[in-house]
Structure 1
Amino acid sequence: MIVVKTREEIELMRESALIVSKTLGMLAKEAKPGVTTNQLDTLAEDFIRAQGALPGFKGLYDCPSTLLCSVNEAVVHGLPTDRPLEEGDIVSIDCGALKNEFYGDHAYTFEIGEIDPETKKLLDTTKESLYVGIREYKLGNRVGDVGYAIQKFCEDRGYGVVRELVGHGLGKKMHEDPEMPNYGKRGRGKKFLEGQVVALEPMINMGTHRVKQLKDGWTIVTADGKPSAHFEHDVAIIDGKPEILSTFAYVYEALGIKSDEENEFRQHALVL
C-alpha cells in the first residue's frame, strides 16, 4: 500500500533528506586517495548524530555500518573496509538518516582523483538518467513510465541496467511501496499519487546488467567486473509535479562544480 504524505510530513522528510545531502557534501572533501571507506563511515556517523539524527542504515536489516560504499565494480550495498581508496577509483556512497520519524536516503558516486574518460561517461550518463526518470515521476504517470525512461536512456547509450535492485517508496520506513525499477514498460504499474514520496536510484553498469553477491552477504558486484555507477534522490509529488527533497548542491559546493540541473524540480530556491 502506498502511504501518501501531508505537506507537513513532506517538509519533515525534506529535513531528513538534507541531512544526508549535507553528509555527502562533507564526505566529498574527504573521499580521496589513501582514505579508507571505514574512515568515511566513522566521519558520516559522527556528522549525522551531530545533526540530531540517527544513521538510517546502521542496524537496519542488521546492517553494520552508517554508509554503504561500493567501489568500482561494486554496484550497491558495499560494506566499508580498510582498503585505501586509490587514484582512478569510483565509489558510490549511499547514506540514510532518520529524524522526526522519517527517513532520508540519498547516494552519489564520487571520483577519486582522475578517472578514465569511459568511466566518467558512465557516471555522467547515470546521473543524467536519474533526472530523466524524475521528469516522469508526476501525477497521471505510472511506475513503468519512470523505469522505461531510465532504461531507454541508458541502454541507447550501450549500458546495462541492473534488474535485481530497485528504487522504492520512502517515509517512516526506509522501504515502502511501490518498488521503483529502473526498467519497465510505459503505462504499466501503480499510478502515482499526490503526496507520494520515493527514492529513485539508477544503478547502471558499463557492461552487462547482470550482477552477483559477494560472500559478505551484502556487496553486489557486476558479473563481468566492469564499473557501475549509482545516484539517488528523494522525490515527492507536490501539485502534481516532482519536487526533489535531497540535493547534490553540498557535494558540488565542496568540489567546486557549478550546476543548475536541479532547478526545474524545485518550487523554491534552495538556501545552502
Structure 2
Amino acid sequence: MSSHRDPGRRPTTFSLFKAPERPAGVSTGPGGSRPVVKLKSPREISLMREAGRVVAIALDRCTKMAAPGVTTADMDAAVAEVFREHGAQPLFLGYPSSTRGKPPFPAVICASVNEQIVHGIPNRRPLKEGDVVSIDTGCRLNGWCGDSAVTIPIGPVSAESKKLLGVTKETLDLAIRAMTRCRTWSEVASLMERYVKSQGFHVIEKFVGHGIGQDMHEEPQVPNFVSKALRKSDIRLEPGIVLAVEPMVAVGTKEVRTLDDGWTVETKDRRYSAHFEHTIAMTPEGPRVLTYLED
C-alpha cells in the first residue's frame, strides 16, 4: 500500500515513526541527514521473504482469476483465504484513513480499476474485457511484513493499455537492476522518472513507496521521481535496507483526486493508470526481491 507523499521536511509522512537517536541497526541518509532507517539483519530479511512469498501466492491467485465477469470482491475473498491458509495477518484490513471522519480500509486488497491509481475498494461490479485492475496487498507473518502489487489486463486490452502496463512493470524492473550499481535512491528514482517520461507517460507524484519491516509503513519515503526533498534527504542503498518500491504511472496526467469514500484515488482526467510493487532488500550480494513465488 503506497504512502501519501509529504513534499516537506522528512520524516513526516507517518507521525508514529519518530526519528530516534541513531542506535546500532539504523542508518541515516548521506551526511547523517534524515530519514532514519531501520536496517534488517539477514535473519530478519529471511523472515520477510516468508511473508513476501505468501503475498506472491495471493497475487498469483488473483492473476489466475482475472477474466471478464469476475469481481474485485471475489479477488478480495480469495486473498483473504490465502492469508488464512498460511496463518498470515492482512495488513490493509482496518488500516486507518488519513482523511478525518472516513472509515478504516474495509478490505484485504486494494483493487483499483482503470483510471483508479491506488487504494480502490473491492466491489461487486463485474470486470469487463478491456479493463485493467491493479491489485495491491500485504500481510504480516511471524511479525514481519510483505507488500506487493500487480496490474492485470482483463481479456484483450487496447494497445495503449498494453504499453502502459509494460512500461510500468519495466520501470519497477529497471529500478531493481539499478539498485545493483547505484549508491543512493535518487540515482534510481532519476532513471525511473526519465524512462517513464521517455515513453510518453506520467509518474504519479502524490503517492510513493516506503520502508517496510515489522510495520508496513516505515521510513523512508521512496519516491519514483527526483525532488529537492529527496536530494536533501537521500536514501543510501546499503545492506539491510528494505524498501517497498512501487511505480505508479498514468497515461494523461500526474494530477489525482481522492473520491468521497476517502480511499480511492483516480487520475483527474480519468485516463488509465498502472501500479506494480515489490518488497526489495539490499544485501551484500545486491538487491533481493522478497515478494515472488520461486526461490
Report the TM-score, using the length of structure 2 for normalisation.
Answer: 0.82
Instruction: Give unpaired runs (5+ residues) of structure 1.
Output: 251-269
Take 1:71 and 1:198, find their aligned partners in 2: how far apart are those partners? 25
For the pair 1:174 / 2:216, whether they are aligned, the reply is yes
For the pair 1:24 / 2:53, whether they are aligned, the reply is no
The letter of the residue matching 1:27 is C
Take 1:179 and 1:45, find their aligned partners in 2: how far apart are those partners? 28
1:204 alignment partner in structure 2: 249
8 Å contact from structure 2 (residues 209, 221) kept in 1: yes
User: What is the CA-CA distance between 1:138 and the residue it aligns to?
Assistant: 4.7
The letter of the residue matching 1:155 is K
For the pair 1:13 / 2:58, whether they are aligned, the reply is no
Write the mapping of 1:236-255 to structure 2, written as runs, cut at 5 A: 236-239=281-284, 241-247=286-292
Take 1:95 and 1:11, find their aligned partners in 2: how far apart are those partners? 19
Report the TM-score, using the length of structure 1 for normalisation.
Answer: 0.88
Write the mapping of 1:46-195 to structure 2, written as runs, cut at 5 A: 46-61=81-96, 62-138=104-180, 141-184=183-226, 188=231, 189-195=234-240
For the pair 1:36 / 2:71, whether they are aligned, the reply is yes
Take 1:149 and 1:31, find their aligned partners in 2: how far apart are those partners? 31
Residue by residue over 1:103-138, the C-alpha shift from the partner in whole angstroms, topping out at 9 and shown as x without a partner, is 100000001011011100000000001011122335
2:267 alignment partner in structure 1: 222
User: What is the CA-CA distance between 1:55 and the residue it aligns to?
Assistant: 1.1
Take 1:45 and 1:34, find their aligned partners in 2: how far apart are those partners? 20
Q: Relative to structure 1, is the Cα distance of residues 73 and 140 closer, same or farther in structure 2, using a 3 angstrom cutoff?
A: closer
Residue by residue over 1:158-217, the C-alpha shift from the partner in whole angstroms, topping out at 9 and shown as x without a partner, is 101001000110101101111110101699312222111001000000111111111110
For the pair 1:232 / 2:277, whether they are aligned, the reply is yes
RMSD (Å), alpha carbons? 1.6
Take 1:243 and 1:46, find their aligned partners in 2: how far apart are those partners? 27
How many pairs are equivalent?
250
Take 2:260 and 2:63, find their aligned partners in 1: how far apart are those partners? 29
Residue by residue over 1:6-61, the C-alpha shift from the partner in whole angstroms, topping out at 9 and shown as x without a partner, is 10000000000110000111111212111111111111101111111111211122
Q: Secondary structure at the match of 2:287?
A: strand
User: What is the CA-CA distance between 1:63 and the residue it aligns to?
Assistant: 1.5
8 Å contact from structure 2 (residues 182, 188) kept in 1: no
Q: Secondary structure at the match of 2:38?
A: coil
8 Å contact from structure 2 (residues 239, 283) kept in 1: yes
User: What is the CA-CA distance between 1:220 and the residue it aligns to?
Assistant: 0.5
- Percent identity over the alignment? 40
The letter of the residue matching 1:67 is I
